[in-house]
Amino acid sequence: MISRSLGPEFGGSIGLMFFLAKVCACGVYVLGLVEAILDIFGQDSASSSALRVLPQGYWYTVMYSSIVLLLVLLVCLVGAHIFARTSFLILLVVTISLLSIYISPLALTTPLNFLISHQGPGNHTLTYNASYTGFNGTTLRDNLGSSYTVDYSTGKEMSFASVFAVMFTSCTGIMAGANMSGELKNPSAAIPKGTIIAVLYTCIVYVLLFILASSTCERTLLVQDYGFFQSINIWPPFVTIGIYCSALSAAMCSLIGASRILHALALDQLFGFPLAPAAITSSSGNPWVAVLYTWGLAQCYFWHFKQALRQCLWCDCVVVCGQLNAIAGLVTVFYLLAYAAVDLACLALEWASAPNFRPTFQVFSWHTCLLGILSCLVMMFVINPVYSSASIILLLLLLLFLHYRSPTSSWGYISQALIFHQVRKYLLMLDVRKDHVKFWRPQVLLMVANPRSSCQLINFVNQLKKGGLFVLGHVKLGDLDTLPSDPVQQQYNFWLSLVDKLGVKAFVDLTLSSSVRQGTQHLLRITGLGESHNLLFTILDHSLLFSSSSHTTVS
């Protein structure tokens, strides 16, 4: 979509960044699922529950994440149809889980007290008393302020930026329909309708959850137990199953979306041989090689040198052995950069007044595009200036790489549409009635018969026209009524190549006429900016100017 709007350089670089964002998001969801599993089934010396049988540690987290990722891979390898069926089933399970969360405060009317324990520094156990109050106005007022505290899972102080980064990763599925447009029967109708419904549904669900949690649970319970919804549910497994299903569905959506983006990059041949195998598909059209590429990246990770322990953080990481909040900022930065690029594409198409860009969304305008770009860029640097700067530098490097690699494409360039729009506007403002001798500029028409023998003359006139207009003219002798096609159109690209080769700042105008004199008169009248040409350069051979024989080539 971006390649066809902004050109291959922007499309390829932003597409690769969006692919990395999807890979990172898959890592967030896989890690979130593993953390949710370990919160209930992980071994904990501070708890005596019989369910806590899974050992915890660096390599155990890698193993659990790899198993979950393998399950996601198997579903995506089968194809989009099994993914759609699985997603629908998961949606039903998550909806039932959400309904149980909304109903539980109505059923649990008596206050509940909880004793929460965490493993603190130096093998000390930290204990907190937390309460569930039911619907209570005092509880709601106490929770209205931010009052950021330490994240017990990482030991770091939370802030608006860190909370926004974690929250934003829950809202990144807005492009899921566009990523799978090739799998839809009627994408032009299904994508906008499905996207708007999904956004409204998600917004309502989150707002209701915020109100429900802040009006029934004391702050200590909210900040010291991220799984508190299980403790206040009429049947705790409802919440557990819902968390597992939603995280698994999000991971599958990210993996299959990333593979489709990689497949599109491979089909466009923007990065050459390294991505060429990703264009391979199965008999049903499933890009299984791109799925394997994505899974392989998802299984890789770097060592994070800032941690003394073996806690890893990989820029494209998916199975990361760190905390969920530690990589949420990186994922959010990648997504915000990709969304800013989409807004930029829409803004450029709107400013260029492209006839093929006719958005049906009634609220759309260039103001909303500009607001979206600025919002994304500002929030990127609010979340993490280092990640934001690095991602923009990476984007610029990819832009330069694709620009100098010069991939051939016939998609069109938005820059040409923007230039045409602006040039047309200023040409209409150019009034020949306001010309004055003080601001005279040369408008030169050089008639060229044989380009091979006129290169020196072309360069000479190019120097004379400094600050003015330079047009190369050529007359092709003939009568269009007697010819099968227009011969001028066939030669036009060769003349443009000559201008590029000589490095002169000139336009090219060709015409078909029965005589050189008549053709020259045509060019003098119809070419120029505002007024007609005020200088004509031609060969000083008058006998040729009046010739109309078929072998004459002088113009």
The distance in angstroms from the start CA to the end CA of the chain is 46
What percent of the chain stands above pLDDT 70?
87
Nearest-angstrom CA–CA distance, 337 and 377: 7
Among 209-223, 225-239, 421-435, the minimum mean pLDDT is found in: 421-435
**Which residues, listed in sequence order, are joined to residue 116 by a DSSP beta bridge?**
128
Confidence of residue 508 (pLDDT cuts 50, 70, 90): very high
d(CA 269, CA 116): 55
Are 373 and 34 a contacting pair, CB within 8 Å? no
Helix/strand/coil (H, E, C) string of 254-274? HHHHHHHHHHHHHHHCCCCHH
How many residues belong to the chain? 555
Residue pair 351/366 in contact (Cβ under 8 Å)? The answer is yes
What are the pLDDT digits (tens) for 351-404? 888 777 778 777 888 899 999 999 999 999 999 899 899 989 988 888 888 878
Residue whose pair of structure tokens reads 């889980």 in the numeric block: 97
Q: Which region, left, alpha or beta, applies to residue 535 given φ > 0 means left and ψ of -120 to 50 means alpha?
A: beta
Domain 441-545 sits in CATH at 3.40.50
Q: Please spell the DSSP secondary structure of 101-132, one letter per residue.
A: HHHHHHH--S-EEEEEEEE-GGGPEEEEEEEE
Residue with tokens 């698994």: 248
Residue whose tokens read 């990333």: 258
Q: What is the DSSP letter of 551?
A: T
Which stretch of 209-218, 253-262, 368-377, 541-550 has the lowest confidence by average pLDDT? 541-550
Rounded Cα distance, 439 and 274, in Å: 56
pLDDT at residue 548, as a whole number: 47
Domain boundaries, the chain: 2-109+179-207+232-405, 441-545
List, in order, residues 6 or more apart from 307 with CB less than 8 Å away.
322
pLDDT tens-digit profile of 236-295?
889 999 989 988 988 898 898 889 889 988 888 888 788 889 989 888 888 999 999 999
Average pLDDT, whole number, for the chain? 81
pTM: 0.74
DSSP structure string for 280-340 = ---TTS--HHHHHHHHHHHT---B-TT-SSS-B--TT-SS-SS-HHHHHHHHHHHHHHHHH
Which residues, in sequence order, are bridge partners of residue 447? 473
pLDDT at 499: 92
Give me the mean pLDDT over the 438-459 stretch.
Answer: 87
DSSP secondary structure, 321-388, as one string: SS-HHHHHHHHHHHHHHHHHHHHHHHHHHHHHT-TT-----TT--HHHHHHHHHHHHHHHHHH-HHHH
Could you give the CA distance from residue 464 to residue 466 in angstroms, rounded to a whole number? 6
- CA dist 444 and 538 (Å) reads 11
- Alpha-carbon distance of 149 to 146, in angstroms, equals 9
* Phi and psi, residue 476, nearest 5°: -100, 120
Instruction: Report which of 200, 199, 229 is spatially closest to residue 212, judged by C-alpha positions.
Output: 229
DSSP states along 512-529: EESSHHHHHHHHHHH-SS
Task: Return the ∠ at Cα 78 (arms to 13 and 24), rounded to 5°.
Answer: 35
Q: Is the pLDDT of residue 149 over 50?
A: yes
Measure CA 538 to chain center.
53
**Fold matches, 2-109+179-207+232-405 and 441-545:** no
pLDDT for the residue 35: 82
Q: Cα-flanking dihedrals φ and ψ of residue 277, to 5°? A: -60, -25
Report the phi/psi class of residue 145: left, alpha or beta, with left for phi > 0 and alpha for psi in -120 to 50. Answer: beta
* Of 191-195, 324-328, 493-497, the least confident: 324-328
Measured at the alpha carbon of residue 387, what is the angle toward residues 384 and 391, in degrees to the nearest 5? Answer: 135
Residues 48 and 42: their CA atoms lie apart, in Å, by 11
For 2-109+179-207+232-405, CATH number out of 3.40.50.2000, 3.40.190.10, 1.20.1740.10, 3.40.50.150 equals 1.20.1740.10
Backbone φ and ψ of 294, nearest 5°:
-65, -45
Give the pLDDT band of residue 331 (cuts 50, 70, 90). Answer: confident
As a whole number of angstroms, the distance between CA 354 and CA 482 comes to: 37
**β-strands 112-119, 469-477 pairing:** unpaired
Distance CA 229, CA 241 (A): 12
